[in-house]
Amino acid sequence: MEIQFYGANCISLNFKPLRIVVDDNLAELGKKSILKDDDVALFTSDIGNITRKNSKLTIDCPGEFEVGDVSVIGIPARAHTDEPQQHSAVMYKITAGDVTTLITGHVYPEFSEAQLEAIGLPDVVVIPVGGHGYTLDPQGAMTIIKEIEPKIVIPTNYSIKGISYPIPQLQLDEVLKELSMDTPETLPKLKLKSSDLGDTTKLIVLDAS
């Protein structure tokens, strides 16, 4: 599996030949959409209306889906701005081989027992950290990280050159200071197999493409 980051909450997971693209609303934020006709598109919330037609399959709801050899489970969640009883967001648990990745999206940082059971023990969590009421802040992200204890944490949705957020987001150095985790590894993309996973949680920052 190869994970690449493009800015905002947009990432791709490449399983060759299958590519899954998550939350590509880049065209709405000042960058170019990365979504291609043969991609599978996942959306964690009601975003990306410009790009939804440009994929072979779009998933934007809870449920269980099989895409080739990859399992995608959509888990209903309370969005960061939802009222307590609302569940307008979707988290995605993506499993290929022995590696499971959780895409949280812009969720409220309190999970029910049913959600935790559905999430299980993901190896990788991709989580927004930009805060300012727009999405999770570092404290909210850490609440989730401590609860699910992934092996790898990939932060998203912080301030990046070329991205025009509706609400300004935290700078990466501010995020890293508040996360209070060990010095992160910075990579252009993450190439991962199960044998690469350690016993402790590691923070990996991916350069935005």
pLDDT confidence tier of residue 196, bands split at 50, 70 and 90 = confident
pLDDT confidence tier of residue 160, bands split at 50, 70 and 90 = very high
Which residue carries 């992160």 as its tokens?
184
- What angle (nearest 5°) sits at the alpha carbon of residue 18, between those of residues 40 and 57? 20
Question: pLDDT higher for 195 or 167?
Answer: 167
pLDDT confidence tier of residue 51, bands split at 50, 70 and 90 = low
Annotated domain spans of the chain: 2-206
The confidence score (pLDDT) of residue 30 equals: 93
* pTM for this entry: 0.94
Q: What percent of the chain has pLDDT over 70?
A: 96
In Å, how far from its chain's centre is CA 118? 16
User: With respect to CATH, is domain 2-206 assigned 3.60.15.10?
Assistant: yes
pLDDT confidence tier of residue 145, bands split at 50, 70 and 90 = very high
Q: What φ, ψ does residue 63 adopt, rounded to 5°?
A: 145, 180
**Residue 54 predicted with pLDDT over 70:** no
pLDDT confidence tier of residue 85, bands split at 50, 70 and 90 = confident
pLDDT tens for residues 5-43? 999 999 999 998 999 999 999 999 999 999 999 999 999
Q: What percent of the chain has pLDDT over 90?
A: 80
Element (H, E) at 106: none
